[in-house]
Amino acid sequence: MQVKILLNEDEIPRQWYNLAADFTTPMHPPLGPDGNPISPDMLAPVFPMNLIEQEVSQERWIDIPEEILEILYRWRPSPLHRAVYLEKALGTPARIYYKNESVSPPGSHKPNTAVAQAWYNKQFGIKKITTETGAGQWGSALAFACSLLGLECKVYMVRISFDQKPFRKMMMQTWGATCIASPSETTQAGRAILQKLPDTPGSLGIAISEAIEAAVTDSSGETRYSLGSVLNHVLLHQTIIGLEAKKQLKKAGEKKVDVVIGCAGGGSNFAGLAFPFVNDKIHGAEIDIIPVEPTSCPTMTRAPFVYDHGDTAKMTPLMAMHSLGHDFIPPPIHAGGLRYHGIAPLVSHAIMEGLLNPQAIDQLECYKSAVLFAKTEGIIPAPETSHAIASTIREAKKAKEEGKEKVIIFNLSGHGLMDLTGYERYFANKLHNYPLPEEEMKKSLKAIEGLPLPK
């Protein structure tokens, strides 16, 4: 039995897959403050035009430039593992596979788009990039990409993660980036939040506001903003994961996949694995595709499908997505990369079309699953990834109860070697479940009152 299924470098996908081309109903357009659809040139102060073209593209396949592939070869194609040791521990007839994105230099899936975005910015003549980061995986990935391409990088890191995960800061510094705790005194958005909530743990929405402000207020015009999830072009770049996985499953002799799973905060690692399989589902394949989120931030499972801003200071356009409200401050769970008030519009649209079955799982079940995975497969997973593992274990147990030989694949989006303080707190029984109270959700949803609704 083959435990690792590998591709040669000449087998790497040479195009990204754009799910927007295959929806049966068109997506809702982003809107400006006046409620009218925005034009691509309105995004020009924030993003380079070559990425804006990808953001609005309806082309199914978009070529990956050779120069980007040459950088990706440092770790891609990534391995597909058969989780034989986990299967034995569970006694399941299911065959479990996982795409190992932890092998990248920063340790997660994030460089797949960080490298692409840094390269397109450099082609456009940009010299500095600002961004936000939650757990620090995106910030360290962009720092890595910018160091390879000779760009300056400034990262606004959500304060709770800035304090919880000091080694991620050091990774960013090693690759030459500047890392600032958000909210900060360096931007108007940060100062306004600190005046109102001096002890705030911060949020991705606040950090996005600061990073966008830092980009658009640079009078030299040499700075642009980069987002690590949510947007169409980011999810596009991640589809290399699922396209590789489909080739690897074929090599492993699998003719059909039954369940596809990924954790989802903004949606990029989930989409990276799942979207090529969503294409199969659109064309008739019977696949259960599951994005998994924390119960403390139940965007897909409890929040309404609305128009909302992607950030707290309302600097982004209004996007049609499931949202808890742009003022939402999530509880300080350790899966920092999943603490976001919204979800990618592409993922939301796929949910509304009935293509996805979202789940929400408590963090204690996730940590228990992560420890079992570490004791069987050997890799200590990131807290975010543990949500996908918990769902996979649920599905494997269900297959055992049903006596079915299901094929399950999930995305191992990153390792947890920079997140061991969370494991320490779990072993010391200091972690608790934080299911979001209904009254808290109602309070945060007040921020979207009066905003347009998707039609």
Q: What is the pLDDT of residues 322-360, one digit of tens each?
A: 999 999 988 776 666 787 899 999 999 999 999 999 999
Q: Is residue 437 part of a domain?
A: yes
pTM: 0.96
CATH of the domain at 242: 3.40.50.1100
The DSSP symbol for 314 reads -
Residues whose CB falls within 8 Å of the CB of residue 150, separated by 6 or more in sequence, listed in order: 122
Predicted local confidence at residue 336, as pLDDT = 64
The predicted structure's pLDDT at residue 333: 65
pLDDT at 338: 81
* Residue 315 pLDDT: 86
- CA distances from residue 391 to 79, 242, 335, 369, 412 in whole angstroms, order as listed: 21, 18, 15, 9, 12
* Domain membership flag for residue 174: no
74 pLDDT higher than 70: yes
What is the per-residue pLDDT for 28? 97
Beta-strand relationship, 223-225 and 128-133: parallel
For the chain, give the percent of residues with pLDDT over 70: 99
Between the CA atoms of 93, 95, 101 and 107, what dihedral angle is there, to the nearest 10 degrees? 30
Q: What pLDDT is stored for residue 1 in this prediction? A: 80
Q: Per residue in 132-174, pLDDT tens?
A: 998 899 999 999 999 999 999 999 999 998 998 889 999 999 9
Residue 311: inside a domain: yes
Structural domain count, the chain: 1
Asked whether residue 180 is assigned to any structural domain, the reply reads no
Instruction: Supply the range of the domain harboring residue 365.
Output: 4-8+64-107+233-448
Domain for residue 152, yes or no?
no
Kindly report the average pLDDT of the chain as a whole number.
95
Query: Is 73 a member of any domain?
Result: yes
Report pLDDT for 334.
65
**Which residues lie closer than 8 Å to 144 by C-beta, 6 or more apart?**
105, 106, 111, 114, 175
**pLDDT of residue 121 exceeding 90:** yes
Residue 151 lies in a domain: no
179 belongs to a structural domain: no
For residues 75 and 98, what is the distance between their CA atoms, to the nearest angstrom? 16
